Amino acid sequence: MTSSRDRALDASIDLLGTQGLKALTHRRVDERSGLPPGSTSNYFRTREALLDGVADAILEREVRGMGAAFAPRSAREMVDALVELLDRTTGEQRTLTSARLVLFLEAGHRPALRATLGQGRRMLEAALQRALVDLGARDARASTQAVMACAEGLILHRVARHDDTDVRPVVDLVVRAALA
């Protein structure tokens, strides 16, 4: 059974991901989650606490979703894994990804959000850099930054512009350049 706190966080992610930052109020979270009025504020006294709680919940879900170690054995496997990740984050996890992007913009003004959201990125970046080293990248740090920037840009375009163009050719080009 899902706790009231988790229901509030689920509703918060849904509101952020579908309606944006202005939609996130304690009252609307209570309504969306089917909780009695005032329930969300019992767990998250302020809006800032609610934003921090949502960021923590998103990080936990994304870390849980990373699954097995990222260890492609070839450029082709890396491209396949990255395309699958991009498809999943902008498809079945689109609302979660949209909520993260809303928080990402808000993090420019809130150091606590910036720190939480940065944790997930650093974990993905570290796994990608290890894989690039294993595949023979000459400058794994720069290659990692290039692949991450490409992936983040593709995610942003898919979510913000509803651009569902096939990402494989772009990912393939960047991965091959990273390994050249």
Q: Encode pLDDT of 126-140 as tens digits.
A: 999 999 999 999 999
Q: Could you say which residues of the chain have pLDDT below 50?
A: none
> How far is residue 8's CA from residue 50's CA, in Å, rounded to a whole number?
9
What's the pLDDT score for residue 156?
A: 95
> How far is residue 150's CA from residue 47's CA, in Å, rounded to a whole number?
32
| Each residue's pLDDT tens digit, 138-167 | 999 999 999 999 999 999 999 999 999 999
DSSP helix/strand/coil, 70: coil
> How far is residue 83's CA from residue 170's CA, in Å, rounded to a whole number?
10
> How far is residue 136's CA from residue 47's CA, in Å, rounded to a whole number?
46
In whole angstroms, how far apart are CA 105 and each of 19, 62, 111, 114, 174?
Answer: 15, 18, 11, 9, 26
What's the pLDDT score for residue 132?
A: 96
